[in-house]
């Protein structure tokens, strides 16, 4: 199995990307192809004396798509950018999966332009794992599409369920529809029309509406929503975590000796919790619905996040998520036809 890794995308590229690849190559049964500026990648690789013993190669690409660039224009123009070349390696069959921590917009665009969608899938969606302390909840769509139609949310439910099962090993994942109340009659037009579609699906375990609080309380495995809502929830969580951390640091700094001592003694315990809820432990977010494995890593990915993303890509390919989606799409259609007869 070969993974194309965009070495130039992300806030800490190429340093943390290369370091993550080094770690992953020692853990997972795959070959990693670092795509990007050969000299810059080499300089990072040279920091690891043993790297030549690992299954890591470099694929040169001259350009880089920057964060501020217009996604479609950049992907069209910069044909030799690390992001575009990495996707091409999957298209040509040279690699089995692509991972990028670069611009999300450019990633989605390149995935659509180069790899295309699975037949029957109207829109790809970003599925982000949210740590709950005792596992993860998969939130999708977390930002690929806005103004989704009920049909799109239905496809998200199908794909999210398969991903949760294949990559996180959840048996019969509980799928919930993100809403403002438990009752079937609650919500906006979008979710009101989506509910009966999910209720009538045969390949998912739909448990009804999920509320905002359910995203982290462990009562649901897959939460389906529009990308507008999902993106706001995700960024809100990030902001809240930062605000809390800042407040705690401020308070300890301004606290007396006992507070400082307490913080010191409690630090190992808090670190354990931080590890449990660290998104970096759960790898990137797959772009589900693309005809190939495309993993979007967080822009501020460190080497741990990159290593996790590579692990996720390996599972994705090994469990053949794309074929599973295709099969279940057919099953849903077939069963729907059976009912109509």
Q: Which of 227, 284, 292, 311 binds a second copy (CB under 8 A)?
A: 227
Q: Which is nearer to a second copy, 27 or 261 (CB)?
A: 261
Q: Is 56 in the site for a second copy (CB under 8 A)?
A: no
**CB-based contact 223:137 (threshold 8 Å):** yes
- Count of residues that interact with a second copy, criterion CB under 8 A: 58
277 near a second copy, rule: CB under 8 A = yes
CB of 328 closer than 8 Å to CB of 203: yes
Q: Are 65 and 105 in contact (CB under 8 A)?
A: no
Do 141 and 227 meet the contact criterion of CB atoms below 8 Å apart? yes
Instruction: Pick the binder of a second copy from 243, 323, 333, 336 (CB under 8 A).
Output: 243
Q: Is the dihedral of CA 231, 233, 237, 239 positive or negative?
A: positive
Can you state the angle between helices 150-168 and 189-199, rounded to 10 degrees?
Answer: 60
Contact residue for a second copy among 267, 327, 334, 336 (CB under 8 A): 267
User: Quick check: 214 and 220 in contact, CB under 8 A?
Assistant: yes
Candidates 44-52, 94-102, 115-123, 187-195 — which segment interacts with a second copy by CB under 8 A? 187-195
169 binds a second copy (CB under 8 A): no
Tell me: does residue 133 bind a second copy (CB under 8 A): yes
Q: Which of 293, 187, 62 is nearest to 176 (CA)?
A: 187
Residue 180 contacts a second copy per CB under 8 A: yes
Q: Does 340 bind a second copy (CB under 8 A)?
A: no
First to last CA, the chain: 43
Which residues of this protein are in contact with a second copy, per CB under 8 A?
132-133, 143, 146-147, 178-180, 187-189, 211-217, 225-229, 231-240, 242-244, 246-248, 251-252, 255, 258-259, 261-270, 272-273, 276-277
């Amino acid at each position: 199995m070969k993974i194309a890794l965009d070495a130039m995308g992300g806030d800490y590229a190429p340093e943390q990307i290369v370091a993550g690849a080094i770690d992953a190559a020692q853990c997972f049964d795959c070959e990693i192809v670092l795509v990007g500026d050969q000299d810059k990648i080499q300089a990072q690789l040279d920091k690891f004396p043993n790297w030549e013993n690992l299954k890591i190669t470099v694929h040169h690409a001259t350009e880089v798509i920057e964060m501020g660039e217009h996604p479609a224009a950049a992907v069209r123009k910069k044909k030799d950018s690390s992001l575009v070349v990495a996707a091409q390696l999957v298209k040509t069959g040279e690699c089995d999966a692509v991972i990028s921590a670069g611009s999300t917009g450019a990633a989605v665009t390149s995935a659509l332009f180069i790899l295309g969608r699975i037949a029957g899938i109207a829109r790809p969606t970003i599925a982000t794992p949210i740590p709950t302390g005792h596992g993860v909840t998969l939130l999708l769509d977390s930002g690929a599409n806005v103004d989704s139609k009920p049909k799109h949310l239905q496809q998200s439910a199908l794909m999210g369920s398969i991903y949760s099962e294949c990559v996180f090993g959840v048996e019969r994942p509980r799928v919930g529809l993100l809403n403002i109340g438990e009752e079937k009659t609650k919500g906006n037009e979008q979710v009101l029309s989506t509910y009966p579609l999910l209720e009538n699906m045969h390949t998912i375990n739909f448990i009804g509406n999920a509320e905002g609080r359910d995203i982290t309380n462990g009562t649901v495995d897959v939460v389906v929503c529009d990308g507008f809502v999902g993106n706001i929830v995700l960024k809100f969580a990030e902001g809240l975590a930062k605000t809390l951390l800042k407040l705690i640091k401020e308070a300890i700094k301004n606290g007396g000796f006992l507070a400082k001592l307490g913080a010191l003694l409690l630090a190992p315990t808090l670190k354990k919790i931080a590890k449990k809820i660290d998104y970096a432990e759960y790898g990137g977010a797959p772009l589900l619905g693309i005809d190939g494995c495309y993993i979007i890593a967080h822009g501020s990915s460190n080497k741990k996040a990159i290593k996790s993303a590579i692990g996720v890509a390996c599972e994705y390919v090994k469990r053949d998520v794309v074929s599973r989606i295709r099969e279940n799409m057919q099953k849903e259609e077939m069963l729907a036809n059976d009912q109509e007869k």
